[in-house]
Amino acid sequence: MENMPKNYDAEAVEQRMLDKWLAGDYYRRNPGVGDCTVTIPPPNVTGKLHMGHALDDTIQDTIIRMNRMRGISTRWILGTDHAGIATQTKVDKKLASEGISRREIGREKFVDACWDWTHEYGGHIVEQIKRMGCSIDFSDPHFTMDADYATAVRKVFCDWYHDGLIYRGKRIVNWCPHCTTAIADDEAEYKEEDGHLWYLRYPLVEPVDGQEYVVVATTRPETMLGDTGVAVSPKDHDKDKFVGAKVRLPIVDREIPIFSDFYVDAGFGTGFVKVTPAHDPNDYGMGERHGLEKVNIFDETAHVVEGYGAFSGMGRDECRQAVVAWFEEHGLLDHVDDHHHSVMHCYRCDSTLEPWLSEQWFVAVDKLKGPATEAVTSGKVTFHPSRWTQTYLTWMENLKDWCISRQLWWGHRIPVFHCEDCGWEDALTEDTDVCPKCGSHHVAQEEDVLDTWFSSQLWTFATQGWPEHPERLEGHHPTTALVTARDIIALWVARMIMSSTYFLKEIPFKDVVIYATILAKDGTRMSKSKGNGVDPMDLISMYGADAMRFNLLTLVTNNQDVRFDADIDKKTHELLGSPRTESARAFVTKIWNASRFVLGNLDGFTPGEPRAVSQADAWIFSRLAKLSAEVTKDIETYQFGEMARELHAFFWNEFCDWYIEFNKASLREEGDARLQTQRNLVYVLDNALRLLHPAMPFVTEAIWENVPHAEGEAPALMMAKWPEPESLASLVDEESERAVSLLCDVVSAVRSTRARYGISPKQELPVVLRAGFENARVLEGLKSQIISMARASELSIVPSDAHKPAESACVVAHGCEVYCVLTGLIDFEAERARLTKERATLQKDEAKFAKKLSNPGFLAKAAPEIVEKDTAKLAELRDKLARVEEQLAELG
């Protein structure tokens, strides 16, 4: 008890426990039976912990801690991702602030600057993960740019290159003019925007049935400079006469053909579609089918290239305005409509992406799709929740070749070398400066680097020794579970399965756990720009890590999105509070205080076996046995919200509110009865702490240090044995559970009646129980306990068809009706008058809020948080009104 002060200090306790765990080296792989290996989804090396990370890491730690306690060989692998675009952008900004550009200092020095950046800032997120209490193996960190990891990346590239799965080609890619690099299709973020549909007149070279021009509709008039065709639908027979004709493209004076293609939607615009094969993926497809020229009108920064007169050098937006002005000036702008459409943006810098024809490196996915699809359809890899299975399979079915080259300097440089003299080219696992074919020293390596997802796809096996030490994978691969967000099912999960099934001929993980996206309180995405993001470190500072972790676990349901209830200062963006995390902190305090009470009543305690000497003992042992089975199953099946609710209900309601109360009298006694009560309390507390530990490691570890243990027990709770369901199964006692549950319900009913009518807990009152034969029999056996705990002056148990006692209040409990006789305890007339007055006030307020919330004008203009607040108030008023109505009915 000397280590358990009256008030729980989360900050002091959590730091002390963290130091203890790290000093004990408990986070390393422990010897055991079976295996539980989990790889952390590598956060960006320059990143900062956000709420998604906090939830992800809490889930993983819960899995790891339970399995470690079960004696399973367990390891959680730490690592970070080099984050090519993100890191290069940060270093570019840093250099710019110093008046330097990467072009000035060159590639080698820029890469050195990136390494300096990662060494300076890369450990921040790792320290935050550590502060959360995550029992990850910090002694063996991995980084996607480490030498051993780079060896694995290079082998994968070279093997796929020589197996014909990697090729170079000129294709349309999503290009970011700001980052000046290609972006994967899956990384493009679509945003709804209000724009326009411009209708442009293209003159026909020769009139068709007296018509001198056709009208095309476009959302991007600037790209008309690169048009090489006009398409119509073969289903649109009114336009058959135009097929084969040509138009003279305005401004550039290029003759381009009109043709038919099934891709064209006859209902879009005028039915005539301008075709720009170098600046639209669908147009590219039509260009391939019809042999159209591919004219790229933009450079890498989306400025018009030379050859277009006054338009050359213009940026996209400037060019758009100039083209529209030219068409209007020359009488070729037919009209303009408003148009709402979806526009691709760069996921890093938010710039509008440009579909751009460029030479890139690709992975041909046809040979990879089949095994990766079968891995999921066969059940070898299971998604939780299962609905994400179809998301994965749909993406795999529609998968196109993967663009893996990025026009960056920071990252894994593509290991393809070519000779400038003889034209030799090959992918090599080791650098060379000599051509093996002609001996020339004019050998150059590709300038581009690999997509970050290319390297991270190897995560489960490249972090465990592959390819140089494949023996380290034995028994630890496939890994147990991957816990991640839905956003990267395609970007990462699928690619990990493709690479693992190709190189290891096995799946990378058995389960994929997709957690819900945590949204801001108003239902929008958390973001720095909106100022609505919550920093997990702020939550920890305010409430402690255990409270944050437990609250996050309660959010794990089958929902796709969940709202986090944090209140944020609109001006400073500082965290003001989180009611749910506040409630979780109250639970932490309850655990501490209840444990302190039990451990403070152990004078004269000697170790011994727990033994049920009362029905209450048998009840709590049975409930503990069922809790062990439920929590174990919940973690195994990734039902963490259920796990959290069951732990809370057991410890707070059953153990604290009832079992400790049942035993307070015994603790005041002397002799064997007191000693057995102590042993039973310690046994239940000890096992409850073990079950709570994976979710709330700090407070449980600190308490467990003070719990009496048998000699030879583990040095820390995190290394102690898990309460296995099989070892506790014999404690299940349905009869005792039924009896004590009935006792608790009756006592609660009497207490709620006292509270409702303002009757003192010390005031005795008559109680009548109406029950069926079987429940009446059980209640007879509990009579003395009910009288004592409910402070009943007398207790009558009558048949279920007996008359209701006069002047009584009724509460329907589970298995019986509880009547508290109120004669002489309250003034019925005054109480009826008070309740009637309260009902009128509530009805008036309820009508006011109902009218307000049914007003479309109010709903359209009011801020979402005001509507939410008023809706909650209306629900509260209706609840109070219903309870007042019930009381009035009771009083006749």
Of 125, 144, 138, 142, the closest CA to residue 54 belongs to: 125
Give per-residue pLDDT as tens, 543-570: 999 999 999 999 998 888 999 999 998 8
User: What value does the mean pLDDT of the chain take?
Assistant: 93
Rounded-to-integer distance, Cα 302 and Cα 297, Å: 9
**CA contacts within 13 A on the Cβ side of 680:** 28
| 528 or 220: which leads in pLDDT | 220
* CA 227 and chain centroid, separation: 44
Look at residue 151 in the predicted model and tell me its pLDDT: 97
CATH number of the domain that residue 787 is part of: 3.30.2320
625 & 701 share domain: yes
Most confident of 452-466, 513-527, 842-856: 452-466
Average pLDDT over residues 48-62: 95
pLDDT at 190 over 90: no
Mean pLDDT within 666-694: 95
Check residue 836 and give its pLDDT: 85
Confidence of residue 892 (pLDDT cuts 50, 70, 90): low
pLDDT, position 3: 74
Q: Both 197 and 283 in a single domain? A: yes
DSSP-assigned states of every residue in 583-637:
HHHHHHHHHHHHHHHHHTT-TT---------SHHHHHHHHHHHHHHHHHHHHHHT
Residue 137: inside a domain: no
If asked whether residues 255 and 335 sit together in one domain, one would say: yes
Tell me the average pLDDT across 518-525. 89
For residue 306, the enclosing domain spans: 190-345
Average pLDDT, integer, range 489-508: 97
Verify that 744 and 773 share a domain, yes or no: yes
Residues 121, 135: Cα–Cα separation, whole Å:
22
Looking at residue 683, its amino acid is Y
> With 70 as the cut, is the pLDDT of residue 516 above it?
yes
- pLDDT at residue 180 is higher than 70: yes
76 occurs within a structural domain: no
Residue 244 has pLDDT above 90, yes or no: yes
pLDDT given at position 186: 67
Same domain, 774 and 851: no
Percent of the chain whose predicted confidence (pLDDT) is above 90: 76
Q: How many whole angstroms separate alpha carbon 680 and alpha carbon 788? A: 22
Residue 839's pLDDT is what? Answer: 86
pLDDT surpasses 80 at 883: no
Please check whether residue 169 lies inside any domain of the structure: no
Tokens matching residue 595: 């444990």
Q: Are residues 883 and 780 in the same domain?
A: no
Say what the pLDDT of residue 375 is: 98
The arithmetic mean of pLDDT across residues 432-449, rounded, is 96
Answer yes or no: is 713 within a domain.
yes
Q: Is the pLDDT of residue 891 over 90?
A: no
The band of 2, judged by pLDDT with boundaries at 50, 70 and 90, is: low
Q: Do 731 and 625 have their domain in common?
A: yes
How many structural domains are present in the chain?
4
* Same domain, residue pair 611 and 721: yes
757 or 641, which is more confident:
641
Q: Is position 633 within any domain?
A: yes
Tell which of 322, 345, 368 closes a domain.
Answer: 345
pLDDT digits (tens, 9 = 90+) for 636-676: 999 999 999 999 999 999 999 999 999 998 998 888 999 99
Is the confidence at residue 518, as pLDDT, over 80? yes
pLDDT band at 378 (very low <50, low <70, confident <90, very high): very high
Is residue 411 predicted with pLDDT exceeding 80? Answer: yes
Residue 832, pLDDT score: 78
Q: What is the mean pLDDT of residues 615-633?
A: 97
Cα–Cα dist 804/783, whole Å: 20
Whole-number pLDDT of residue 383:
98
Provide mean pLDDT across the span 798-812: 86
CB 196 within 8 A of CB 336: yes
Residue 206 lies in a domain: yes
Residues 744, 771 within the same domain: yes
Range 751-767 burial, b when 16+ CB lie within 10 A, else e:
bebbeebebeeeeebbb
pLDDT value, residue 47: 80
Same domain flag for 730 and 837: no
pLDDT digits (tens, 9 = 90+) for 104-126: 999 999 999 999 999 988 889 99
pLDDT-based confidence at residue 825 (cuts at 50, 70, 90) = confident
| H or E element in which residue 770 lies | strand 765-771
Q: Are residues 316 and 201 in the same domain?
A: yes
| Residue 163: per-residue pLDDT | 97
**Is 869 labeled as ligand-binding?**
no
Q: Do 770 and 820 reside in the same domain of the chain?
A: yes
Domain ends where: 712, 736, 760?
Answer: 736
Specify if 97 maps to a domain. no
- pLDDT value of position 424: 97
pLDDT tens sequence across 828-870: 777 778 778 888 888 899 999 888 888 888 888 877 778 888 8
Among 792, 826, 860, which residue terminates a domain? 826
pLDDT tens digits for 475-487?
999 999 999 999 8
Residue 624 predicted with pLDDT over 70: yes
Residue whose C-alpha is closest to residue 225's, from 316, 336, 286? 316
Domain CATH number, residue 634:
1.10.730.10
For residue 352, being part of any structural domain is answered with no
pLDDT at 1 over 60: no
Q: How confident is the model at residue 507 (pLDDT cuts 50, 70, 90)?
A: very high
